[in-house]
Structure formats: C-alpha cells, structure tokens
Amino acid sequence: MNSDPAKQQQFLKVIDRETATARFHSHLNLVPLGLETVTLHESLNRILSENVVSQVNVSSFDRSNVDGFAIQAEDSYGASEDSPKILTLNKETISTGVTPQQEVNPGSATLIATGGMIPRGANAVVMVEDTDIEDGKVVLSRAVSTGDNMTFTGTDISLGETVLWKSQKITSREIGILAAIGLTKVSVFQRPKVAIISTGNEIVPPGEDCPPGFVYDSNLYILAAAVTEAGGEPIPLGVVRDDEELLQKHLSQALEYDIVVLSGGTSKGAGDLSYRAVEKLTDPGIIAHGVSLKPGKPICLAVTGKKPIVILPGFPTSAIFTFHEFVAPVIRHYAGVPKASPKSFQATIPFRLNSARGRTEYCLVNLIRKDSEWIAYPLGKGSGSVTTFSLADGFIKIDQHTEYLDEGEIVSVQLLSEEIEPADVVIIGSHCLGLDLLMTHLKEDGFSAKALHVGSTSGLKAARRNECDLAGVHLYDDRTDKYNTPFLNSDLVLIRGYHRQQAFIHRNGDKRFQDKDFREAIDFVLQDSQCRMVNRNTGSGTRILTDQLLKGIKPTGYAAQAKSHNAVAASISQNRADWGIAIEQVVRQYDLTAIPIQKENYDFIIHKSRMNSASIEAVQAILQSESFQRELQGKGFQFDSEIGEIISGDGISSDIITDKNS
C-alpha cells in the first residue's frame, strides 16, 4: 500500500449540505419499505401503517361505576339524612357479567355491583354508602342526578371511531387502546435493516484488551442505538481492519440489507479504504464526497440500485452528527416515522380547575401552544378512560391542600414520556367522522394533530380564548337561519367546511315512526311517555338543535346525555332508548333508520392570530384538494364551492356562549 502523502488524493468536490441532501435524495425512493403484521407484544415502538378504527364500543354497555342501586334519578330528588326517600327493592341483583332482566320502574331500585350493566328504566346509580335497607325497602339519604355514577355505552371509545392514526408510534398507551378494543395484532411499517461496519486497524471491540494506540469501537454501539431511535433495525457486522479485499467482502454482505453505514476510512488518505470499496459501485455510485460541515466534512454519500450507502467520519462526534444529518432522515422515511417537534414543560391553566381538598390529584393535560406560551388543557373522561390517556401529553399535580387552580395560573407539566411531543394542530369542538378524515390528511402531510371532542360551544369558547388552532362547530342560529357565522366576533374567522345531515334516528322496523317526517315523529314522542329518547350533551350543536325542535318540552329520557353521535346510536341500537337526534352517517354503523331533519354546516373557527400558520394553510389546502373531497363524499358528506374558503362572521348571536352549563 502506497502511503506517500504526495500521492494521497483529495476530495472530489466539497459541496454544501442542501446540495448534498438533494443529490442523495434524488436517487432514493423515500417511501416506507413495506408492511407487516405483528402481535401486541411485538408492537412496542413500531409505527402504525394505517388508521385503527374501533369495531366495538368501550364500554360496550351502560355500566355502573360504583356498588349501589340503579334507580330513576327523579325518585331521589330531595333525599337527605333527615328526610330520606323510600324505594321498593327489586328482586334482581346485577353483578358483573349479568344481563339485567327486570326494568327499573318509578319508585323501585335494583342492587348493582361496580361494572354491572345498567337495567332499562334506570338513569343513575346511588352509592351503597348513601343507602340503608329497612324491611325490604331501600332508604336513600342522598339525591343523585341523571347519569351520576354510571358510564354510557361508547363514552370512552365509540364503534367506528378512529382511535389511532397512521404513522403514530406505538407506546404503552397505544397498546392499551389496542387491547381495549380487542385487537391482538396490528399492521405496522417494516423497519429498515441498517448494516453497520466499523473500519480501521486501530479499532478494538469492547470487552477485548485495548493496547496503546488503539481505541474501543464506540461508533458501532452509538450508531446501532441511533438506528433504533430513528425507527430502524441495526445489523452490526463488526470491525473490519484496513484490508481492501476483506472490506469488499463485508460490503457485499452489507448490501443484502436496506441501508449500509460505514464509519471511518472516508478521508481519501492512503490508509482510508472505505471510499475505495464504495467507489467501485455504480448506478450511480458516489454522488457526494465532502460536505461543508463542521464536524463531518469527510462524509461520503453513495447509492447503488436505489440503496443508500453512507461512509461516516471515524471520530464519534462527527459520525453521530452526520448520521442524524443524512442517515436518520432516510431511515425515518423508510420506516414511516413522522417528523419530531420541540418540547416544553411550563404551561398555564386556561380556566379554573377545581379539586377536592384532602387528596393529591393528578390531572391529565394536553399541551396547546398560545403565542409563545403553552396552555395545559385539562382532559377528563373519567379514571377508566383509555382515550384520555392517549390524548394526554402529561399531567399536573394538585396538592391535597389546594381546592382549585385559577385561570391563568402557571403549572408544571410532567410529560408521560420523554418522547411525547405536543401536537402541531389542536382541534377542540364537535366530533365528526369528516374531522377524522381531515386529521388523517394532516398527519400524512407531516403535522401531528390532536382533537378534543367537547362540543361546539366549548370549541367556540376555546377559539375565543385562542386556546386551539381550530374549533370544529355546527352551531345553528334560529334568528338568522344560519350556521356558525353569527357566533363569530372580531377576533375570529371561519374556514368553510362541509355539510352534514341531522336526523331523527330510530330502530329499523319501529312502526311508531313509519311513514312519518321528523315533525310528525317529534309530535308523537312528545305525547307518548313510553317512548324514551337519548339526548346529546349540553353545549353540543346537536343539543342546541334538539332544544329548538322540542320548544321547551322535555320528553321521557331527556336528561340522559350522550357525548357523541355514536353514543346516541348505540343507546337506540341496544334498546336503552327508542329515538334520538344525530348525524345521518352513524345509522349505517348501527343498522338504524334516519328521518332527515335538516342539512347543517360543519365549519372550522380560527382565532385571527393563527391564520398565517403553516398548519392552517395545510388545512385549507386539504379541504380544497380533490382527494380529500372524494373521500368526504365517499363517507356521505356534501360540500359546495365555498369549502376551504375564509368566511367573515355576522356577530349576531354571540350570547350563545354565555350558557353556564356548556
């Protein structure tokens, strides 16, 4: 081997980072390599290759949250220790796994265990601690409200709800969701196999003696860990001494894998052989050798047959720097891993958060950016909720002596995982299957997106406080016969969305509603006390429409509030209720019948300060894209030429958000 310095070659040409990256990527097919199905035990840290849509409701039935008695809440009103209410004890006892056979009628109560199925007729559970049994009667010493101490079907996860998203990394949280909806296997992107070769006569594997002048091979372990972090599978091929024939043999073996990484031997010195082995490759071969980086100038980028080969500098700092600059992005593309975002840990509370004195409370929060600060938006579906945990970025700790955290108070947010990063796009408001579709496109465009389904009114409030990027709303104003625009103020604008059909829904074959339009159907249920409704939650756009249609009359079941269209449909499908108002799209999933009421607009309200963000521009582009519109139509939604356009408001009916119950 000729080691004469005068005969050493120099770099082909030193180029800038952008040019090197562009050349490198132009010869690669930067898409996920393929898909595979793995078990839940194997899925940790893998990347989902498709959206996961629940085929079940969680919970799958209306259940009790406590040991107690299933009753009609109205029978408990006014109950106290001094003036108890007396109910007849039904013979049936409902434990877990038991299907109720006896209806709870006015004046009666059924003993029920935690997790037991709520019987028909009951709309609340009174805790056993607030009762006594005397002479076969149930004595109530405390009143309850409709829905107290019970969880409705689908409150946590609804049939047809998208619970996990394509390109989402699977952590212990996501595995909990997958298990909760009954899955044992999941489709993920293949992990690219990355062959790693360390070169140099001075390199010694850890565990062996390291004489003077030699160094342990730290690069192999650093790079293997970095490959794993980026979403790949490292294939260590060991240390190769400075022998061109031996190196060529190892390189041929490495080319059996998806990506090849060598460290050392790239400076074109007489003893640097890696580039000599690589320069014999063609199609196209070496495309960059020498990049204006410090550290990392000697990096060599090559491609053969669409397969990337990268020779990293030998010094560990240079090696890992250039790895993250050039190799990690390719691994992420091949593995379907989305881009990373910055983190933050200090945040403010957007509204007063009450806590019970005498206990330390942990509140799950979602982090939302507001100008240069973070908002810790409290989440809550109950302690048994799976989706709340999946939506949360972290939690705050409320001291046992603290009764509340005031609006604007600064809190410390502890992340659930160091890898959790707040979403680029936060959507607060009404849930919709079309919104799921929009979020899918956002995620495919590289934006992390999260939706908090709290109803249209709460979404409007959040937009007014500038606490979300988008508020999905469908608020009807009967004074103007318009949706959404009358509720905008001078700080808000609206991106026009799409149309949905609100409907009166009931079970197939229910002759009570046969050949009736929605007005006739509502007139009927207002006169028939045996016909039970399931309502929507206060503050939702559907609840506002329902109240307008009922004109102050509260039919049987009015107080039972479901938190989603799916939950309304589930209650009717399971014979817990006979009718309700929901969007027409849910009837397909539950095999119900819909009587059309009116078309409504589902739009997106935005605070003006967020209008110039890249994420809002992406939302507009998606709404106006042909691919999104085709998929939207495929799900039964309609739209007009205004979709995606910015609409100013009328500012007429802003008083709707003063409803203290919303």
CATH of residue 125's domain is 2.170.190.11
Q: Are residues 596 and 520 in the same domain?
A: yes
The model's pLDDT over 296-335, given as tens digits with 9 standing for 90+, comes to: 778 899 999 999 999 998 877 778 778 888 999 999 999 9
**Percentage of residues of the chain with pLDDT beyond 70:** 90
C-alpha span between 434 and 498 (Å, rounded)? 8
Question: Is 450 inside any structural domain?
Answer: no
Question: Is 443 inside any structural domain?
Answer: no
CATH of residue 360's domain is 2.40.340.10
Provide the pLDDT for residue 342: 44
Domain end marker among 151, 178, 207: 151
**Residue 303 pairs with which residues in a beta bridge?**
285, 308
Higher per-residue confidence, 493 vs 318: 493
25: closest CA among 305, 319, 303?
Answer: 303
Provide the pLDDT for residue 450: 87
Q: Average the pLDDT over 533-551 and give the result.
A: 89
Q: Are residues 495 and 417 in the same domain?
A: no
Q: How confident is the model at residue 563 (pLDDT cuts 50, 70, 90)?
A: confident
The model's pLDDT over 361-375, given as tens digits with 9 standing for 90+, comes to: 777 788 887 777 888
CATH of residue 178's domain is 3.90.105.10
Question: Is 543 inside any structural domain?
Answer: yes
Question: Is 475 inside any structural domain?
Answer: yes
C-alpha span between 598 and 503 (Å, rounded)? 7
Question: Is 510 inside any structural domain?
Answer: yes
Question: Is 440 inside any structural domain?
Answer: no
Both tokens of 365, joined, read: 């929060």
Instruction: Tell me the average pLDDT of the chain.
Output: 87
Q: Are 320 and 196 a contacting pair, CB within 8 Å? A: no
Contacts with 463 (C-beta within 8 Å, 6 or more apart), sequence order: 428, 470, 471, 492, 605, 606, 607
What is the extent of the structural domain holding 69?
63-151
Provide the pLDDT for residue 272: 63
| pLDDT higher than threshold 90 for residue 360 | no
Domain end marker among 335, 368, 399: 335
Q: Are residues 499 and 605 in the same domain?
A: yes
Q: Are residues 255 and 329 in the same domain?
A: yes
Q: Average the pLDDT over 562-585 and give the result.
A: 91
What's the structural domain count of the chain?
5
Q: Are residues 177 and 320 in the same domain?
A: no
Q: Are residues 236 and 305 in the same domain?
A: yes
Least confident residue range of 75-89, 170-184, 472-486, 494-508: 472-486
The model's pLDDT over 264-300, given as tens digits with 9 standing for 90+, comes to: 766 555 456 787 888 888 889 999 888 876 667 788 9
Query: Please, what is the Cα angle at 49 between 47 and 52, to 5 degrees?
Result: 100
Question: Is 583 inside any structural domain?
Answer: yes
C-alpha span between 267 and 289 (Å, rounded)? 9
| pLDDT higher than threshold 70 for residue 658 | no
CATH of residue 23's domain is 3.40.980.10
Provide the pLDDT for residue 414: 78
Q: Are residues 494 and 633 in the same domain?
A: yes
100: closest CA among 28, 150, 48?
Answer: 150
Query: 3-state DSSP call for residue 95?
Result: coil
Q: Are residues 514 and 653 in the same domain?
A: yes
Provide the pLDDT for residue 9: 44
C-alpha span between 88 and 76 (Å, rounded)? 12
The model's pLDDT over 147-177, given as tens digits with 9 standing for 90+, comes to: 999 999 988 888 999 999 999 999 999 999 9
Phi, psi of 219 (to 5 degrees): -60, -40
Q: Are residues 27 and 46 in the same domain?
A: no
Query: 3-state DSSP call for residue 381?
Result: coil
| pLDDT higher than threshold 70 for residue 389 | no
Query: 3-state DSSP call for residue 517?
Result: coil
Q: Are residues 568 and 527 in the same domain?
A: yes
Burial 613-647 (b: 16+ CB within 10 A, else e): eebbebbbebbeeeebbebbeeeebebeeebbeeb
Q: Are residues 543 and 468 in the same domain?
A: yes
Q: Average the pLDDT over 388-392 and give the result.
A: 65
Q: Are residues 621 and 513 in the same domain?
A: yes
Question: Is 568 inside any structural domain?
Answer: yes
- Entry pTM: 0.64
Provide the pLDDT for residue 205: 84
